[in-house]
A and B are shown apart, each in its own frame.
Chain A
Amino acid sequence: MEDTRLPELWPELWEATTQTLVMVSVTMLVGGLLGLVLGMALYLTRRDGLYSNRWVFGVLNVVVNFFRPIPFVIFIAAVQPLSRAVIGIGIGTQAATFALILAAMFGIGRLVEQNLVTVRPGVLEAARAMGASRMRIALTVVLPEALGPLILGYTFAFVAVVDMSAVAGVIAGGGLGTFAQQYGYRQFDYVVTWTAVILLVILVQVVQFLGNFLAGKVLRR
């Protein structure tokens, strides 16, 4: 135990925690929203969807299937040119967040689509029979009816984003993952490694608990 450098690393640990929180929360906010739009688009344009369109669905489907299987550790580097073009920088926490947003968008898009499919078609039919427009149905029937599963889906996505954010170090993005590798793993300092791990576990547990709690409230109706 006396070998650990943890006591002198508090400032770095604090910075890394902040970086992780910023990366993950911005990703969940922006990527989550984009994923919601993408998932809705997939759901609405699929066969028998409210805006059924096989071409639009086909293109979206192929794009999602193309990006989703790329391991994030490769994706984060491969997307650097795009990052430079869009936000003007290819390294650091901002660039890592940019890559996270993109990856999360595709993952969450698929997740949202899968959750929306569980809404009973009869409920949409009832709304159509009342004279509701398709957009109204999408926003006021489909989303509320799928809210419970959506909350669980986003909770799942949050954990995945925390996992992905550990790779940010590849482009000097910082965060707890980088901290654990740099000061823990490479220095054989297990106390530092496990401190970072425990912080990540606490973060994930808190969010998972919140997600379960909210979904439970919605689903118990």
Chain B
Amino acid sequence: MTSPATAQAPLIRLEEVTKVYPGRGRQSSPVTAVDGVSLEVMPGEIQAIVGYSGAGKSTLVRLINALEPATSGSITVDGTEVVGLSERQLRHLRLRIGMIFQQFNLFDSRTVWGNLAYPLHVAGVPKSEHQQRISELLHFVGLPDKAHVYPGHLSGGQKQRVGIARALATNPTLLLADEATSALDPETTGEVLELLNRVNAEFGTTIVVITHEMEVVRELADKVAVMEAGRIVESGPVFEVFSKPVQPVTRRFVGTVVDDLPPGPVLEALRARHTGRFVTLAFHDPEVRQSDVYAVLARHGVGFELIYGGIEEIQGVTFGNLTLALVGADDAVEQALADVRGLVPVTDLDRLEED
């Protein structure tokens, strides 16, 4: 997690990038997978791109190393304009961009060693240097004893470690991760994310992660862009997007890791169990403590019970939405709420009018 100096030039700059796939049959019409996307990623940053399947995020990441050629727009990587390069020129560029995949895409016919040696061969690294580099890579990803094992004998997490080692073999400045943890269980996902964080911290590698898991965004990313129907509908630092999601799609994504307002059925169940006035308080300002709010309620003689919600930590800042049931005389509750509104945004679930 680095905060780059403002004077630095972006490592990746997308400007009005569009990708249109021609229709395949006679009847089918062209499909616009990426629609006028602009995005900048600074060196050393970890940029997440989230969206549901079909949102265009996998296509977008493939435009960056031109595995798919862009239809229009401009893409520069490390100062090189990618759009319009020949396959031969692209090979040069790709040596500086590593890529890892959901299905790992290891060469099953080669041992772990063979998998790591392949990009070295492609890059023209002399064979005498392979031994040392491969050994370094295997130690970095924590698999020093697996050099002569075939991928078929590795677990999913180990395969992705080999995938990461292979992608790092030629010391790329940029690493593209396409749903790199989506095929892994939660524990293994955590290990792989930790490894990617180390890649970023130790080598300063810029990382672009494509994912539909907000856990990945929370654990890994500095910035996040949300894609829907080929467009980026919302983007910014992870904390900002998580604490104040604007677009409905962003709210749905953020809702998977941060409890928002209790949804309808939950609210009904809560009403059956609790009495009083239901309000949701949004703690987004690091300056405001929960105890300040509780002190206000106590001063007005209002009883309260925490019935829904949670507090999260993202990039060292805690925030969350807490739903309380307030019990007390009507005017005391009104007055208390008026004071609380001065501290944090309040959503009144009984009136359902947002502040």
Contacts and interface: CB of A to CB of B under 8 A. Distances in A.
Given A131-B91, A133-B91, A221 B122 contact: no
Interface stretch (B37-45, B95-103, B325-333, B345-353): B95-103
B94 A221 contact: no
Contact of B105 (A122, A136, A144): A122
B118 A130 contact: yes
B107 A129 contact: no
- Chain B interface size, under 10 / 10 to 19 / 20 to 34 / 35 or more: 20 to 34
B208 to A, nearest CB: 13
B110 A129 contact: no
Given A126-B99, A129-B94, A221-B152, A134 B105 contact: no
Contact of A129 (B87, B99, B108, B150): B99
B94 A141 contact: no
B109 A122 contact: no
A110 B129 CA distance: 41
Interface in A124-143: 125-134, 136, 140-141
Given A128-B94, A131-B92, A221-B152, A145 B108 contact: yes
A125 B105 contact: yes
B155 to A, nearest CB: 16
B344 interface: no
A190 to B, nearest CB: 48
Contact of A122 (B92, B93, B101): B101
Given A133-B91, A134-B87, A128 B109 contact: no
Contacts of A140: 118
A134 B94 CA distance: 14
B95 A221 contact: no
Interface in A106-126: 120, 122-123, 125-126
Given A120-B103, A130-B119, A131-B122, A221 B109 contact: yes
Contact of B67 (A128, A134, A144): A128
A147 interface: yes
Nearest to A47: B24
B123 interface: yes
Contacts of B94: 128-131
B173 to A, nearest CB: 14
A25 to B, nearest CB: 27
B122 A132 contact: yes
Contacts of A129: 65, 67, 94, 97-99, 176
A125 B110 CA distance: 16
A218 B108 CA distance: 10
A130 to B, nearest CB: 4
Interface in B119-174: 119, 122-123, 150, 152, 166, 170
Contacts of A133: 87-88, 91
Contacts of A145: 107-109
Interface string A7-36: 000000000000000000000000000000
A133 B97 CA distance: 15
A140 B120 CA distance: 14
B123 to A, nearest CB: 7
8 contacts: A123-B107, A128-B94, A129-B176, A130-B99, A130-B119, A131-B94, A132-B91, A133-B91
Given A126-B106, A126-B166, A130-B170, 19 more contacts: A120-B105, A123-B106, A123-B108, A125-B67, A125-B101, A127-B118, A128-B94, A129-B67, A129-B97, A129-B99, A130-B122, A130-B123, A131-B94, A133-B91, A136-B122, A141-B107, A144-B107, A145-B108, A218-B109
The 4 nearest A-B residue pairs measured at CB: A131-B94, A126-B105, A221-B150, A144-B109
